[in-house]
Structure 1
Amino acid sequence: MTTAPGTVLVVEDEESIADVLAIALRYHRFEVMVAGSVREALALAERTRPDAALLDVMLPDGDGRALGRQLRAERPDLALVFLTARDSPAEVVGALGFGDDYITKPFNIDEVVARITAVLRRTRPADVLPQRPLLRYGDLELDETTYSVHRAGRSVELTPTEYALLRFLVRNGGRIVPKEQLLRHVWQYEHTPPESTVVETYISYLRRKLDALGPPVITTRRGVGYGLA
């Protein structure tokens, strides 16, 4: 018997959209639960403990981002992907502040499935553990067993995507990694619009957390990519 790739909680109040998402995800062997409100989503999440949640930002009884924060507080390992009809920088940054990805409406259903698959791959690092349990670069130390990060001996709290991005930079040492390569290896994006700022957004999050504990460690080569100092 083939094992399902994961359990996804779809939180969408528009029934037609929820049905399309559920059918597509089930076709790709995901187990799917559908909720149309914050209250229903919280009840389902408590009973079933999904691997990922696909959340509409605007819900009839609350804000999808607030729901995401509550779900993540109860389940730090839960993968979060937001659906939004808005495409403003503030909306995107607000979702990415604690989520793993976002998708703007109208969306391509194949893209949704690909994003969910990629997020689960990133948040299940045990499936791709390297041979070495520790990765070090300068005063940075990444524990590949516990997925914890320390800088100069002090703990740094990172989201699964932030961890995956930092790990890839550490594995590349001081080399400048092109943005396109980061998108492929960290986000599993093969075709990304040139205006996408997801890499820049997460680099900003990493800098804020890492630079609080020491000198700037991430360098930028404008028009090329990012690396470690």
Structure 2
Amino acid sequence: MKRILLVEDDKEIVDVLQYILEKEYVVDIAFNKQQALMLINKNHDLTILDITLPDGNSLEFSHLINNPIIYLTAKDDEETILQGLTLGEEYIIKPFKKNELLLRIEKVLKRTTTNMFQYKDILIDSNAMKVYVDNKEISFTLLDYKIVELLFIHAGKTISRDSLATLIYNNTSNFVEDNTINVYIKRVRDKLNRDYIKTIKRVGYLVEKE
């Protein structure tokens, strides 16, 4: 699931945007410049950024953001618009239309999304189906790789044992016993040599959000 940082000081707008966006995306919220500076570049796929914040102007720190930016702001003067379009991918003037915003988000993500996913010291290359730990490639079978990808790309979401059983069955056509899942998870953990995969008893497995 893609992850969006929303920087917006208006609580009512934040509530509306959360309701709209959280159906499709994981959303982190910053209400001011200070909070935004603490959250930027935490593996977000996109930043939605108001320009005028209570403690500063977001154009002053936009260059620090290493993911695509959509400016969502009431500022409609030509100079600011041009500056925003230079620094970001899109510039939307409030009040905004829900469907237009969702379409622009989708288009920006399609244009800019890479197939590389970073979680702490683990890098997943979805194109090559490879996993690196501390920049060293770890040898995985195709199924092991798919388990790693499922767990880490959905960090913050518990992956049920049923989902893992289905994944294993679809790739092996073998009946999946309860212990089979444990064996695969143990093998993946051993190869990663990290404690990032948490067991949620009787439910499944979770890689916690960073």
Distance 1:114 1:60 in 2: 28
Distance 1:66 1:117 in 2: 26
Tell me the residue number matched to 1:217. none
- Provide the C-alpha distance between the structure 1 equivalents of 2:61 and 2:107, rounded to a whole number of angstroms: 22
Q: Could you tell me which of 29, 33, 43 is aligned with 2:28?
A: 33
Give yes or no for contact 2:50–2:58 (8 Å, CA) kept in 1: yes
Q: Identify which of 75, 88, 91 aligns with 2:80.
A: 91
Aligned to 1:43: 38
Unpaired segments ≥5 residues, structure 1:
128-144, 146-229
* Number of aligned positions between the proteins: 117
**Identity percentage over the alignment?**
33
* Counterpart contact for 2:32–2:53, Cα < 8 Å: yes
CA–CA separation in structure 2 for the residues paired with 1:115 and 1:51:
14
Q: 1:50 offset after TM fit, Å?
A: 0.8
Please tell me the residue identity of whatever aligns with 1:109: K
Query: How far apart are 1:112 and its partner, in Å?
Result: 1.3
Q: Partner of 1:97: helix, strand, or coil? A: helix
What is aligned with 2:165? none
TM-score normalised by L of structure 2: 0.52
2:5 to 2, 9, 13: 9
**Aligned counterpart for 2:111 among listed residues 104, 114, 122:** 122
Alpha-carbon distance between aligned partners in 2 of 1:102 and 1:116, rounded to the nearest angstrom: 11
List per-residue Cα deviations over 1:180-220 (Å, max 9, x = no partner). xxxxxxxxxxxxxxxxxxxxxxxxxxxxxxxxxxxxxxxxx
Tell which structure's C-alpha radius of gyration is larger. 2
What is the RMSD of the two structures over their aligned residues, measured on CA atoms?
1.9
Q: How far off its partner does 1:115 sit?
A: 1.1
Instruction: State the Cα deviation string for residues 52-90 of structure 1 (Å, max 9, x = none).
Output: 00000100111111221222xxx2xx0101012122221
Deviation at 1:126, TM superposition (A): 5.3
Shift of 1:9: 0.3
Compute the displacement of 1:49 (Å). Answer: 2.1
Could you list the per-position Cα deviations for residues 140-179 of structure 1 after superposition, in whole angstroms to 9, with x for gaps in the alignment?
Answer: xxxxx9xxxxxxxxxxxxxxxxxxxxxxxxxxxxxxxxxx
Corresponding residue for residue 66 of structure 1: 60
Partner of 2:92: 103
SS in 1 for 2:44: coil
> Which segments of 5 or more consecutive residues in structure 2 lack a partner in the other structure?
117-126, 128-210
Question: Does the residue aligned with 2:27 lie in a helix, a strand or coil?
Answer: strand
Aligned to 1:18: 14
Partner of 2:88, secondary structure, is coil
Does the CA contact (< 8 Å) of 2:45 and 2:113 recur in 1?
Answer: no
Amino acid at match of 1:43: M
CA distance in 2, matches of 1:34, 1:40: 8
